[in-house]
Structure 1
Amino acid sequence: MSKAARKKTKAQGVRALTREQRTVVFKRAARVLAEFNGGKPQCIERVAALERVADLLRIKAEPVPAAVAVQGPLGSCMLGEAAGGVIPLLPGAAVRRSPTTELWNGAGHLFLFAPHEGIMLDPTLDQVGPVTGFPRGCLIMPVTADRLYADDVPFEVAGSVKVLYRVVRSDSTWRTAYNAVYANRGGKDGRLLARRALELEGFDEDLV
């Protein structure tokens, strides 16, 4: 779409968009980020960039550490030891543990939660795809803060893949690395990502 055909709100900035429009752009940014990530186990880097997008769109969002259990047609995988015992083993099956979570303290994964929008966005969960059959792309699911922080949160996604998130708020092992990425790379990455998402949704990318 040419710039001339886009919705012209540049003079007023991103605040000219409605809350629904900003949420649509935010979700688009998460999907673009997942496509760019390509299934790599880089939740810290990607969630930091996505939080920067949320900042630019004036959406309150917070990174959440969790242990995640995934069971699909190809097998099972666990990100974080706090999810131990969650996945029922089939005869002869084994649960693969991600080697990237050894330095965590119970959790093993990060996602972003936007409480006012009532959604969680996980742009790197498809890293478990080769082991479980989880489909490519970003996981975006509706969830409230009361549900997310009070108990395990299970989902079933396309292809009969079952996912369970167990928030581990006591795990802060990720925070130093996250803050460094957020400060050093997050700003540039987030702005580029926000502009691309705005463009794909038909808005002027220079709103941010």
Structure 2
Amino acid sequence: MNISVRNAEKFEFTAENMIWAEGQMAKYPANRKQSAVMPLLTRAQEQNNGWVSIPVMEYVAELLDMAYIRVQEVASFYTMYNLKPVGKHVIEVCTTTPCWLRGSDDVVAACQDELGIGFGETTADGEFTLLEVECAGACVNAPVIAYKKEYYEDLDNDSTRKFIKAIKSGEVPVPGPQTTDRHKSAPQGGPTTLKEFCAVQGGQE
């Protein structure tokens, strides 16, 4: 999403978020507070129903004494920032090489079939947005979907459909591996090395 649109309302942080933002800016010297641009954009996006509008970028630029274009450059570079309105449920599918090799095409097909939309689109009822994202950093558990700051891993077509249907029914799917018995990022079936260490530690952590 690389084209932002202007929404009708002026944006400003809530009182609580403003206190938080001031704390972020205080982490840097006064003449370097622009370093807080990414956390401020992220918090603003969360407050603004999941997307970064032109008024949002103008507001962040004013807070940080930055040129508007500098804020826009950041917002348009990183795929974590949505530059147009999104649905209530944003489904982010990683399709980079490790996920692709592990079957992300099947995950994408399940998402598109269940939701009836393609990447970058939102359902007519405004409930779901489907996004293609760059590496999620969970390659060992590929393929991966990111949803509400959680990762859903080891997906295939069937488990992806189950995941989406659960959200549609109002459930909150349990994050983590969906089709394997792996513990977090441990090998499927459990550890294969350092078993004595794990036993001493009382488990697989």
Larger radius of gyration: 2
TM exceeds 0.5? Answer: no
TM-score (norm 2): 0.26
Q: Which has the higher contact order (CA 8 A, sep 6+)?
A: 1
Q: TM-score, normalised by structure 1?
A: 0.26
> Could you say which structure has the higher strand fraction?
1
